[in-house]
Amino acid sequence: MKQKRILVLLALLAIGCGGACAAPGSTNSAAANRILLIDPSSMPVAAGKATLTIGPLQRAGGVYSGDYEINVSPYFFKSEKGRLAIVVSDESLAGITQGKAAAIIGTATTSGQGGNSRHIEATATPANLNRGTLKLWFMAGDRKMIFEPAYHFAGMETAAVVAKTMETDPATNLQSRLPVSHLDAVDSASAHP
Q: Please, are residues 151 and 131 in contact by the beta-carbon 8 Å criterion?
A: yes
Which residues have CB under 8 Å from 191's CB, separation 6+? 155, 157
pLDDT tens, per residue, the chain with 193 residues? 544 444 333 333 333 333 333 334 433 455 567 899 999 999 999 889 999 999 999 999 999 999 999 999 998 998 999 999 999 999 998 998 899 999 999 999 999 777 889 999 999 999 998 999 999 999 988 889 999 999 999 986 554 555 554 454 444 444 444 444 444 444 444 444 4
- Which amino acid type is present at position 104? I
Closest Cα partner for 118 from 140, 133, 144, 97? 140
Query: What CATH code is assigned to 32-154?
Result: 2.40.128
For position 34, what pLDDT does the model report? 86
Closest Cα partner for 123 from 153, 147, 159, 98? 147
For position 22, what pLDDT does the model report? 36
For position 33, what pLDDT does the model report? 76
Which residues have CB under 8 Å from 153's CB, separation 6+? 31, 34, 35, 36, 37, 130, 131
Strands (E) in 62-179, as ranges, are: 63-73, 80-87, 102-110, 117-126, 131-140, 143-147, 150-154
Total-model pTM:
0.66
C-alpha 132: how far from chain center:
8
